[in-house]
Amino acid sequence: MKRIFYFLLTNLAIMAVLMVVLNILMSFLGIDHGSIGGLLMLALVFGMGGSFISLAMSKWIAKRSTGAVVIQSPSNETEQWLMTTVERQARNAGIGMPEVAIFDSPEINAFATGASRNNSLVAVSTGLLRALNKQEAEAVMAHEVSHVANGDMVTLALIQGVLNTFVIFLARIIGGVVDSAMSNSDDEEEGESTGMAYFVVSIIAEIVLGVLASIVVMWFSRQREFRADKGGADLAGRQAMISALERLQQSSMPSQLPDEVAAFGLSGKQKGALASMFSSHPPLEQRIAALKQIN
């Protein structure tokens, strides 16, 4: 219930901000709302703007959606070890020290998020700390630090923003073309620019194009996952990274991470073969095989 509340609150706040920004830009640039330029501006603001506002709020969203508690001052040996390990890995990866957090979950998982390489969060589950040994847990944290060092959050936000812009723009162009054709055939003397067909077709086109865009984004996400595995192997040792993935492979518990951070978790949601193209993570056997092939 808490996740739904924060999801709705966040999206309402983003929509409100983007509407204000859109109106200011349209007025400042003197662009007509009904023109192609106005449509393109709307697509850019909501496509790119929404993606990067979500990126800017990613740490706040992640903490509240997972209940992750940031370690301010280590209170036990485990927390001290986590802080020391992440600090060393961040230094070796050439990034600023991330915030380190623990979230309560029985699953073996972790995630990274944040707006930049020097403003990030690395969180691990209580289940991971219980199930993995120190070498395996260190490899998992190295995997997440590598996500940050590789700039994966920013890269995927940029890809998502560009695709969102095209989806919004093209869906409305398609809707306008269909609506114009239907208006001309049904009532040539009417000069209405938008009718019911415009809204219906635009919604359908946006859904279809959005699904296709998701396939592209998830493909990029899977490639970044292979890179993060390699980065984890470089920072913590290849065998430790393989061992951590094999331990995860033995676990039957599916990922429970919310969608906002799932793409940068150690493990994504388990899906069937047909839905693999919509998965943010490659199959574990492919990731393990890729690591074993590294010379």
The residue assigned the tokens 């209940």 is 67
Instruction: Report, as residue numbers or ranges, the catalytic residues.
Output: 144
Helix axes 284-292, 196-236, angle to 10 degrees: 40
Helix (H, G, I), strand (E, B) or coil at 70: strand
Neighbours of 187 (CB within 10 A): 11
Beta carbons of 45 and 22 less than 8 angstroms apart: yes
CA dihedral 206, 211, 214, 219 (to 10 degrees): -140
Residue 236 token pair: 């913590």
Alpha-carbon span 69 to 169, nearest angstrom: 40
Residue 197 token pair: 């067909």
